[in-house]
Structure 1
Amino acid sequence: MTRRFLQRAVLCVCLTGVLCPLVDAEDNLGLGYVRRGDAIHFVGGEKNANTGEGTRIDQPGKGVIFGFRRSMTRPVKLCAAPDAASFEVLSEEYTRDKNKVYYKWISPGRFLMIELPNADPMTFAVVGSNLARDKHQVWWYDIVIPDANPATLTIVREGSVYRDAERVWYQHQLIAGADAASFRHLGSGYYRDAEAIYWGPKPIAGVDLATFKVLGDSFMAVDKNLVYRSGQRLPNIDPETCQFILHDPYGYQIVSDKHGVYLNSQRFLHADPTSFEMIDNRVGKDENHAFLVDTYQCNPVTLYWDKDQLNVEKLVYEHGTNKPLAIIAAEVAGDKLEKVRILPPPGEATAKPVSEAQLQIFRRADLIQQMQAAGDMLKEAN
Structure 2
Amino acid sequence: MKKYTFFLACVLLSFCISCRDIGKLVNKQKSSSYFIDSKGQIVYCQNGNWFSLGVSQMQADAESFEVLAEDIAKDKNAVYFRGMTQKLVDRNSFYVDNQIPKDRFHVYYIDQVLGFNIIDGADPKTYELIKNHTNWARDKDHYFYADDMIHVDRQTFSFVNDYFLKDKDSVYVSPNIGDFKSVVANPGNVEAINKYYMRIGNTIYYPPFEQGSASIAKSFNSIQTIRVLDLDVICVNNKTILIRGKNFKYDHVDVPSFQLFTVDEKTDFYAGNPYSKDKNNVYFNQEVVPGADVKTFILIGDDFGKDAKNVYYQKQLLKDVDAPSFKKNGDFYKDKRGNKFSALTGNKV
Q: Which residue of 2 aligns with 1:165?
A: 140
Q: Which residue of 1 aligns with 2:55?
A: 55
State which of 158, 178, 192 in structure 1 corresponds to 2:166: 192
What letter corresponds to residue 246 of structure 1 in structure 2? D
State which of 269, 277, 282 in structure 2 corresponds to 1:285: 277
Q: Structure 1 330/244 Cα, relative in aligned 2: closer, same or farther at 3 Å?
A: closer
Q: What is the percentage of aligned positions where both structures have the same residue?
A: 18
Q: Which residue of 1 aligns with 2:36?
A: 35
State whether residues 227 and 233 of structure 1, in contact with CA within 8 Å, keep that contact through their aligned partners in structure 2. Answer: no
User: After superposition, where does 1:264-303 map in structure 2 within 5 Å?
Assistant: 264-266=244-246, 267-269=248-250, 270-278=252-260, 279-280=262-263, 281=271, 282=273, 283-292=275-284, 300-303=286-289
User: Residue 226 in 1 paired to residue 226 in 2?
Assistant: no
Deviation of residue 230 (structure 1)? 2.0
CA distance in 2, matches of 1:91, 1:230: 36
Q: Structure 1 82/25 Cα, relative in aligned 2: closer, same or farther at 3 Å?
A: closer
State the aligned residue count. Answer: 256
- SS of 2:54 mapped into structure 1: coil
State whether residues 190 and 200 of structure 2, in contact with CA within 8 Å, keep that contact through their aligned partners in structure 1. Answer: yes
What letter corresponds to residue 69 of structure 2 in structure 1? S
Deviation of residue 200 (structure 1)? 1.8
Higher RCO (CA 8 Å, separation ≥ 6 residues): 1
Q: Which residue of 2 aligns with 1:114?
A: 84
What letter corresponds to residue 101 of structure 2 in structure 1? A
After TM superposition, the score normalised by the length of structure 2 is 0.60
CA distance in 2, matches of 1:132, 1:335: 65
CA distance in 2, matches of 1:229, 1:153: 31
CA distance in 2, matches of 1:259, 1:367: 35
CA distance in 2, matches of 1:41, 1:254: 48
Q: Which residue of 2 aligns with 1:245?
A: 229
CA distance in 2, matches of 1:32, 1:284: 48
Question: 1:54-107: CA deviations, max 9, x gaps?
Answer: 31253xxxxxxxxxxxxxxxxxxxxxx122333333334433233322233xxx
State whether residues 93 and 103 of structure 1, in contact with CA within 8 Å, keep that contact through their aligned partners in structure 2. Answer: yes
After TM superposition, the score normalised by the length of structure 1 is 0.56
Q: Considering only aligned residues, what root-mean-square deviation do their CA atoms show, in Å?
A: 3.8
Question: 1:158-212: CA deviations, max 9, x gaps?
Answer: 5312222222222122223x12233233331332223222222424332544221
- SS of 1:48 mapped into structure 2: helix
Q: Structure 1 244/89 Cα, relative in aligned 2: closer, same or farther at 3 Å?
A: farther
What letter corresponds to residue 27 of structure 1 in structure 2? L
- SS of 1:151 mapped into structure 2: coil
Q: Structure 1 264/89 Cα, relative in aligned 2: closer, same or farther at 3 Å?
A: farther
CA distance in 2, matches of 1:195, 1:150: 28
Deviation of residue 366 (structure 1)? 5.2
* 5+ long unaligned stretches in structure 1: 1-9, 11-22, 59-80, 105-112, 248-252, 293-298, 311-328, 337-363, 371-382
CA distance in 1, matches of 2:27, 2:344: 50
State which of 289, 292, 317 in structure 2 corresponds to 1:332: 317
Deviation of residue 38 (structure 1)? 1.8
What letter corresponds to residue 255 of structure 1 in structure 2? I
Question: 1:250-298: CA deviations, max 9, x gaps?
Answer: xxx2222233323313425243331222223214322222344xxxxxx
* 5+ long unaligned stretches in structure 2: 1-14, 16-20, 111-115, 209-213, 264-270, 298-313, 322-340
State whether residues 262 and 268 of structure 1, in contact with CA within 8 Å, keep that contact through their aligned partners in structure 2. Answer: no
User: Residue 132 in 1 paired to residue 101 in 2?
Assistant: yes
State whether residues 227 and 235 of structure 1, in contact with CA within 8 Å, keep that contact through their aligned partners in structure 2. Answer: yes
Q: Which has the higher strand share?
A: 1
Please, which moves more after superposition, 277-286 or 88-97? 88-97
State whether residues 45 and 54 of structure 2, in contact with CA within 8 Å, keep that contact through their aligned partners in structure 1. Answer: no
User: Residue 26 in 1 paired to residue 24 in 2?
Assistant: yes
Q: Which residue of 2 aligns with 1:341?
A: none
CA distance in 1, matches of 2:320, 2:243: 25
State whether residues 161 and 192 of structure 2, in contact with CA within 8 Å, keep that contact through their aligned partners in structure 1. Answer: yes
- SS of 1:204 mapped into structure 2: strand
